[in-house]
């Protein structure tokens, strides 16, 4: 466990509020910030230190500090750790116009943390002779809580995903494989063009989004291709946060005000996460990483597996004292957060370096054998093509999944609309649709109104063995004699035996109570008037019913039109989806074709390598035979040399004896002379 490294940097004051005293860090006024080694204290110019304990941090930089000094003190050690396999994150936090972007990006005269870190990464990689590296970079921004890829112009909203293999990552984010700092700088320039900036009262070029520049570094030991060799995969995040704002100072409105709201909300969520992490273990509870996309992406750097450094920038002017105090409190809480960083080693083929190493190794040997000048460019191009194919495959899979979800939603909506339309088509006026009996009676004709149960016609006799009437197989609109015979199971009603009630009298009015029946005898005029009123009332009720039916039919027609439009939209969506699928399938086929071509080239390279290996073995065998012959020849030479030496010795001995004999002969001859 190690604490997050926290540094505070005060920018130079604005000329209008220049500090008259050389030792202070603040602008003109009664109060100023005093910097004493690693302490920051708010003091009154006349009365001394203000109430409250001073703020203590790992490093504090005054207005004279340069980006080189800040980088060397806070960030440089992270670069070595990243190359060794540790995750690392460095980000700048502070209010708007406090110098965060200058600290991270810098200028031509004084480069910031990001360009210095990029150069140091490649310098460290070149100095590491025992490992082989693969570097990928990406550049994204969080604008209004939406993630945008700054290296593309597609403008798609990228989702955050998580799995056991990759952890938390942004799906569909473009990654470029690079092998030099210059390539990275070109991508950074492209990203800066696509980044959101705006003008406020406090800053002429204010960052309106959080940006995250990410470098993924994979490495493996050189000259080891065994599948059990571990691969180190580390991530370096360099984050430039947008500054917190107060509307009364920045004067934002409209779009800028909406941007400020999203910025302040995400920074508030970041502060909540830091607050929770700074609490003790028993009081910590749930860490709200998912409340903001910023904290979700930076989750490993906040209390996780990473080395983290935070640079809090502050404005020294007295008018910004409250904002600076808030920044220092955030920095104090962040200093209490602990991370658990460890080397990231994997033994599977999840790393891009290991997936590509086997395919490229033989091609590299072939190119090296032919002394090709474009070796690194060819290898880099192959790696980029393969990596882009994998990213394109993931993106296509994600788009197809979204299209499937959209199609299912449209089909479900279409089914619901179809059910509603069928319900309207089958709508009939029945008693189940009315809760009030008066409404039901109002829709009835005079001859079908309520009749007391005493006035009922009944059959006098029927077959006793019939328990129920069977249902016919097919029901038509007209009931004939055969249908009645079927329904009564062969029983024929004797009409003469039916007992009918004489002279049925119905109710006087729809609005009268059901218990009050019309008198049996009444004057003809009164009866005519009553019947006329009943007719008028029935006519009005019929008109109202017609109006309601017309309204229902209109609603049905509207639903039918809506259903037709939805069907048209669904058809258009299906057509567009099919076109998109066809287009993406064509792109995928193209990618597959390129991959097949690469595999074919690799196969040819493997065959050449195998042929060369076979030739090498044959030459080695021939060389062994020649060496054996050479040894035999040397042995023969040694035997001949020994025989020659012996012969030479014999000749020497014979010469000596001959010489002695010759001398003896000369001596004898001399002696015999007179």
- Find all residues with CB under 8 Å of 94, minimum gap 6, and list them: 100, 241, 243, 244, 312, 313, 314, 315, 327
Q: Which of 346, 361, 380 is the C-terminal boundary of a domain? A: 346
Who's near 500: CB < 8 A, 6+ residues apart? 457
Residue 491 pLDDT: 54
Quote the pLDDT of residue 298.
Answer: 92
Is residue 234 included in any domain, yes or no?
Answer: yes
C-alpha 533/C-alpha 543 separation (Å) is: 15
Region 308-325 average pLDDT: 91
Mean pLDDT of 488-513: 47
pLDDT tier for residue 28 given thresholds of 50, 70 and 90: low
Average pLDDT over residues 364-389: 61
- 206-217 mean pLDDT: 91
Pair of tokens at residue 178: 């690079």
* Least trusted range by pLDDT, from 17-31, 181-195, 390-404, 635-649: 17-31
> What is the structure's pLDDT at 485?
58
Residue 597 lies in a domain: yes
**How high is the pLDDT of residue 674?**
59
Give the chain's domain count: 2
Q: What is the dihedral of CA 466, 467, 472, 477, to 10 degrees?
A: 90
Cα dihedral 268/274/277/282 (nearest 10) = -50
The 3-state DSSP class for residue 499 equals: strand
Q: Is 271 helix (H, G, I), strand (E, B) or coil?
A: helix
- pLDDT score of 517 more than 70: no
Task: Tell me what the mean pLDDT of segment 387-398 comes to.
Answer: 68
Kindly indicate the confidence band of residue 187, based on its pLDDT and cuts at 50, 70 and 90.
very high
Task: Classify residue 311: in a domain, yes or no.
Answer: yes
Residue 348 banded pLDDT, cuts 50, 70, 90: low
Which residue has tokens 């600290």? 103
Using 50, 70 and 90 to split pLDDT, how confident is the model at 466? very low
Q: What percent of the chain has a predicted confidence (pLDDT) above 90? A: 24
Read off the pLDDT of residues 136-146 as tens digits, 9 standing for 90 and up: 999 999 998 99
User: Among 297, 326, 346, which residue terminates a domain?
Assistant: 346
Q: What is the pLDDT of residue 386?
A: 66
The tens digit of pLDDT for each residue in 546-562 reads 777 777 777 777 777 77
399-439: pLDDT as tens digits: 667 777 777 777 777 677 667 666 655 554 444 554 555 55
Q: At 163, which CATH number?
A: 3.40.850.10
**DSSP secondary structure code for residue 111 in this structure:** B
SS3 string, 349-408, reads CCCHHHHHHHHHHHHHHHHHHCCCCCHHHHHHHHHHHHHHHHHHHHHHHHHHHHHHHHHH
Task: Report pLDDT digits (tens) over 604-613.
Answer: 888 888 888 8
Q: Give the span between the Cα atoms of 54 and 48, in whole angstroms.
A: 13
What secondary structure letter does DSSP report for 137? E
pLDDT at 293 over 50: yes
Residue 642 lies in a domain: yes
Task: Give the pLDDT band of residue 536 (cuts 50, 70, 90).
Answer: confident
Reported confidence tier of residue 464, pLDDT bands at 50, 70, 90: very low
> d(Cα 647, Cα 624) in Å, to the nearest integer?
34
Q: Which residues contact 460 (CB under 8 A, 6 or more apart)?
A: 494, 497, 498, 499
What residues contact 133, with CB distance under 8 A and at least 6 apart? 83, 125, 217, 218, 219
> What is the chain's length?
674
Of 280-294, 472-486, 632-646, the least confident: 472-486
**Residue 363 counted as domain residue:** no
The closest alpha carbon to 356, from 136, 126, 613, 125, belongs to 136
Residues 6+ apart with CB under 8 A from 284: 276, 277
The band of 206, judged by pLDDT with boundaries at 50, 70 and 90, is confident
Torsion over CA: 216, 222, 226, 228 (sign): negative
pLDDT exceeds 70 at position 455: no
Segment 49-90, tens digit of pLDDT: 666 778 999 999 999 999 999 999 999 999 999 999 999 999
What confidence score (pLDDT) does residue 88 get? Answer: 95
Q: Looking at the domain assignment, is residue 491 inside a domain?
A: no
The residue range of the domain holding 600 is 530-670
Residue 495 lies in a domain: no
In the structure encoding, which two tokens stand for residue 5, read together? 């490294």
Q: Among the three residues 346, 373, 405, which one is the final residue of a domain in this structure? A: 346
CA distance linking residue 633 with residue 639, whole number of Å: 10
End-to-end CA distance of the chain: 124
Which stretch of 19-33, 447-461, 660-674 has the lowest confidence by average pLDDT?
447-461
Mean pLDDT score across all residues of the chain: 77
478 confidence band (pLDDT: 50, 70, 90): low
Instruction: Name residue 32's beta-bridge partners.
Output: 43
**Residue positions forming the annotated binding site:** 94-101
Euclidean distance between CA atoms 509 and 534, whole angstroms: 6
Tell me what pLDDT residue 483 has: 56
- Bigger pLDDT: 641 or 354? 641
Give the pLDDT of residue 120: 95
Annotated binding site for ATP: 94-101
- Give percent of the chain with pLDDT exceeding 70: 69
Q: Is residue 516 part of a domain?
A: no
Q: 449 pLDDT band (50/70/90 cuts)? A: very low
**pLDDT value, residue 124:** 94
What pTM does this model have? 0.56
Comparing 614 with 224, the larger pLDDT belongs to 614
Tell me which of 123-132, 196-205, 445-454 is least confident: 445-454
The predicted-structure confidence for 227-248, as pLDDT tens digits, reads as follows: 556 788 999 999 999 888 887 7
> Is residue 486 a contact partner of residue 475, using CB atoms and an 8 Å limit?
no
């Amino acid at each position: 466990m190690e604490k997050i490294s926290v540094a505070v940097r005060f920018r130079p004051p604005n000329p209008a509020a220049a500090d008259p005293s050389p030792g202070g860090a603040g602008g003109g006024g009664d109060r100023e910030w005093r910097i004493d080694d690693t302490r920051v204290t708010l003091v009154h110019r006349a009365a001394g230190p203000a109430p409250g304990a001073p703020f203590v941090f790992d490093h504090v930089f005054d207005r004279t500090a340069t980006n080189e000094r800040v980088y060397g003190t806070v960030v440089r050690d992270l670069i070595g750790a990243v190359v060794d396999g540790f995750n690392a994150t460095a980000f700048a936090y502070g209010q708007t116009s406090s110098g965060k972007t200058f600290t991270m990006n810098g200028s031509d005269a004084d480069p910031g943390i990001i360009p210095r870190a990029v150069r140091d990464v490649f310098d460290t990689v070149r100095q590491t002779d025992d490992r082989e590296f693969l570097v990928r970079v990406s550049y994204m921004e969080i604008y209004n809580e939406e993630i945008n890829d700054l290296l593309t112009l597609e403008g798609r909203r990228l989702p955050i995903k998580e799995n056991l293999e990759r952890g938390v990552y942004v799906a569909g984010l473009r990654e470029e494989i690079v092998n030099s700092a210059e390539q990275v700088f070109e991508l950074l320039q492209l990203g800066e063009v696509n980044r959101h900036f705006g003008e406020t009262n406090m800053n002429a070029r204010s960052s309106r989004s959080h940006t995250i520049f990410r470098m993924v570094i994979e490495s493996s030991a050189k000259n080891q291709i065994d599948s059990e060799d571990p691969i180190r995969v580390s991530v370096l995040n360099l984050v430039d946060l947008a500054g917190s704002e107060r509307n009364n100072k920045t004067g934002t409105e409209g779009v800028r005000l909406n941007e400020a709201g999203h910025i302040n909300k995400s920074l508030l969520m970041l502060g909540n996460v830091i607050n929770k992490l700074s609490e003790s273990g028993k009081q910590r509870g749930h860490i709200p990483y998912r409340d903001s996309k910023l904290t979700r992406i930076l989750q490993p750097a906040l209390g996780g597996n990473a080395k983290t450094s935070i640079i809090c920038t502050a404005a020294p002017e007295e008018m910004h004292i409250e904002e600076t105090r808030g920044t220092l409190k955030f920095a104090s809480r962040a200093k209490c957060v602990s991370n658990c960083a460890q080397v990231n080693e994997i033994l599977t083929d999840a790393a891009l370096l290991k997936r590509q190493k086997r395919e490229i190794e033989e091609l590299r040997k072939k190119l090296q054998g032919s002394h090709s000048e474009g070796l690194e460019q060819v290898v880099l191009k192959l790696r980029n093509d393969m990596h882009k194919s994998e990213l394109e495959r993931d993106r296509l899979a994600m788009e197809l999944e979204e299209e499937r979800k959209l199609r299912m939603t449209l089909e479900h909506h279409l089914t619901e609309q179809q059910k509603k339309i069928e319900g309207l088509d089958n709508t009939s006026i029945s008693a189940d649709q009315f809760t009030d009996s008066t409404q039901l009676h109002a829709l009835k004709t005079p001859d079908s109104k309520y009749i007391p149960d005493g006035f009922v016609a009944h059959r006098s006799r029927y077959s006793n063995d019939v328990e129920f009437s069977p249902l016919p197989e097919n029901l038509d609109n007209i009931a004939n004699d055969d249908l009645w015979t079927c329904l009564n199971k062969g029983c024929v009603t004797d009409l003469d035996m039916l007992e009918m009630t004489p002279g049925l009298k119905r109710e006087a009015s729809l609005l009268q109570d059901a218990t009050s029946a019309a008198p049996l005898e009444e004057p003809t005029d009164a009866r005519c008037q009553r019947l006329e009123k009943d007719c008028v009332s029935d006519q009005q009720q019929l008109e109202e019913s017609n109006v309601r039916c017309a309204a229902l039919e209109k609603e049905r027609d509207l639903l039918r039109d809506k259903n037709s439009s939805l069907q048209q939209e669904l058809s258009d969506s299906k057509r567009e989806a099919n076109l998109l699928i066809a287009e993406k399938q064509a792109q995928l086929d193209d990618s597959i074709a390129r991959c097949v071509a690469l595999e074919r080239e690799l196969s040819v390279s493997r065959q050449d390598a195998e042929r060369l290996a076979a030739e090498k073995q044959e030459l080695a065998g021939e060389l062994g035979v020649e060496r054996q012959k050479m040894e035999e020849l040397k042995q023969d030479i040694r035997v001949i040399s020994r025989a020659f030496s012996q012969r030479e010795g014999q000749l020497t001995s014979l010469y000596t004896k001959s010489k002695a004999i010759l001398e003896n002969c000369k001596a004898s001859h001399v002696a015999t002379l007179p």
